[in-house]
Amino acid sequence: EAGVAQSPRYKIIEKRQSVAFWCNPISGHATLYWYQQILGQGPKLLIQFQNNGVVDDSQLPKDRFSAERLKGVDSTLKIQPAKLEDSAVYLCASSLGSSWRTDTQYFGPGTRLTVL
Amino acid sequence: AQSVTQLDSQVPVFEEAPVELRCNYSSSVSVYLFWYVQYPNQGLQLLLKYLSGSTLVKGINGFEAEFNKSQTSFHLRKPSVHISDTAEYFCAGQAAGNKLTFGGGTRVLVKP
């Protein structure tokens, strides 16, 4: 079974530039998550999709971050414009459903973003 | 609000020695607890989870954890570590219907 795919693996940009990350979840997984992991910290949930609808985006900085999952499969996360404090690893995860009791989240390898 | 605290940021340990990684949580409602491992340049992988029932939970790769409600702890243990256990370990908690909240991580370095 193929895992969660993410690209690019690494990205270096200058502040105020734009950047986009792509995630392809495990086939058949309805729920997709984007996390931000700042160096030395645990992952923090940015947004959760159930199919192509947003379930939770309470911690997404909506003035500069946006995410979409148009067909309920792949997802993109965009930052525009980037700030120095956005330097982090962006993790995508997926799960079969949205049951917090039984559905394990499977994580991709992440995209490491460096903002100069 | 729920929070998860990992008391050690780094734990050096010799190969074949036991290791314990400490995790404490705070929550005013029922909580579900998880341990994830992150190998270098890889995503997080679930080691084990506690939802209910037996307080001793066994996971993959010989790891186990014990849920202690009175001490609000969920410490992870392995009786004998291998070089391949070098990784970062994250404790996470989830209150009913809410998002996963992760601790800050514990970096385990296994020395030969």
Q: Could you say which residues from 56 to 85 on chain B have a Cβ atom under 8 Å away from some Cβ of chain A?
A: none
What was the pLDDT predicted at A100?
60
Return the percentage of chain B with pLDDT > 90, whole number.
73
Q: pLDDT tens digit string along A64-105? A: 999 999 888 999 999 999 999 999 999 999 998 766 656 788
Q: Is the pLDDT of residue A51 over 90?
A: no
Which two tokens mark B12? 């050096």
Q: What's the mean pLDDT in B60-74? A: 93
Considering its fold, how many domains does chain B have in total?
1
Q: What's the mean pLDDT in A27-46? A: 92
| Contacts of the segment B41-50: beta carbons below 8 A, 24+ positions apart | B41/A109, B42/A109, B43/A3, B43/A4, B43/A91, B43/A93, B43/A106, B43/A107, B43/A108, B43/A109, B43/A110, B44/A43, B44/A91, B44/A93, B44/A107, B44/B90, B45/A107, B46/A104, B46/A105, B47/B76, B47/B89, B48/B76, B49/A104, B50/B74
A103 CB-contact burial (10 Å; exposed 0-12 / middle 13-18 / buried 19+): middle
Q: Is the pLDDT of residue B105 over 90?
A: yes
Q: Could you say which residues from 21 to 50 on chain A have a Cβ atom under 8 Å away from some Cβ of chain B?
A: 40-45, 48
Hey, is B11 helix, strand or coil? strand
Q: Which domain holds residue B10?
A: 3-111
Q: Which residue has the higher pLDDT, A96 or B98?
A: A96
CATH number at residue B56: 2.60.40.10
Contact check, Cβ <8 Å, A43/B32: no
Nearest CA in chain A to B89: A42
Distance CA B56, CA B49 (A): 10
Which two tokens mark A1? 């079974």
Top-ranked range on mean pLDDT: pick from A96-105, B35-44, B62-71, B94-103: B62-71
